[in-house]
Amino acid sequence: MGGTWEQGGRDGASTLAPRRSLAIALALGALALLGAAFSTLSHPPRADAQTIGANLNRTPNVTFDCTVGLPPIFLPQFGAPSCTFLGTSATPGATTLAPFPGGVATRVRVRTAAPTGPMRVTVLRSLREINPPGDTACCFYAGQSQVFTPRANATTAVNVFLPMTNTRDDDIEQIDSLGITVLNPGTAIPGQTQPIGSIEGSLAFYPQVVPADAVSGRLPAGSNLVPLLNADFTRLCGGGAAAAGENSTSRDAESSGATCLGGVTIRSGRLAGSRARVPLVCNLAGQCRGTLVLQRTGGGASAAGSKTVGKKKIKISSGGSKTLKVKLNKKGKKLVKGKKKVKVKAKAKIKGGPNETKKVKLKK
């Protein structure tokens, strides 16, 4: 994917008129800032809920829409009915890059001027060579929120569920960020412009980034517009093990009192005959695959296998939810016989992500 983006950048830049070349130069500068931000994310101290993105105490001063063109150059060929802006900065914490080792954005806030209109938050994926250090390729579509319309001249908060990755696969680092997408003409882009040469700015995409851009990516233009967007982000449990594709538990986070997520979230369910119905939510930026094991709680036999009352394969799309129908074995049928509710220990072993264990109630 990165090769496609880079080749497009070189070929396009060789034939550009001077003013459009400036747009590409700004884009390369913004990518450099994005790369600098990458290096600050390697090993945060603990898995904890946090805020990522811009300081929303700023006053938005952008009143134009996507059709105007790219500020500060205002090239007509960049104007489009829709657009996506991804903030870049050399200041740690000022971008919407996913903290290591990835997790879920659960609530976003957008500060807007006027006029306002329909928008969505788009997850954009960047790639970087890390051994040896190399180029950054950006950007590829990796997800999107529901459409919402923020209030004019105000800060609007919206609940979302956007899994984001921050992983290393061999010598490639893969990190997701959040961008703001304006969908209709006549809607002001939520942002504040900065002096040219500032350490803050954005990568701009005209028209908006869409699911088709997940394969070949998009060539951005640079902008001095800072998107006024931030988000509440909860990291995955397990630290480096999760990023390395190994299974782990949340004990490290729990022992420090931090908040974190397993590869899946397990919820209490229901009993239906000889089956337990257990709802799961996938917290990974990729598909959740693994196995769910239900076990008796309390004392008794020490061997884990002797406590197992049922198991089921897990296969859930990124950010999706699914109720698993787990067939109970003989021990499980005996456990639930004549009872309206039981408590079991649910263990989810997730490939490429942290495991999750939770005591859940099953009711008839």
Tokens 């509440």 locate to: 232
As a whole number of angstroms, the distance between CA 95 and CA 202 comes to 10
Task: Output the pLDDT for position 48.
Answer: 58
Task: Output the pLDDT for position 301.
Answer: 52
Structural domains in the chain plus CATH codes: 2-240 (no CATH), 262-363 (2.60.40.1930)
As a whole number of angstroms, the distance between CA 148 and CA 68 comes to 22
Task: Output the pLDDT for position 68.
Answer: 86
Task: Output the pLDDT for position 6.
Answer: 29
Task: Output the pLDDT for position 189.
Answer: 96
- What residue ranges of the chain have pLDDT lower than 70? 1-48, 70-78, 239-258, 299-305
Q: What is the pTM of this model?
A: 0.81
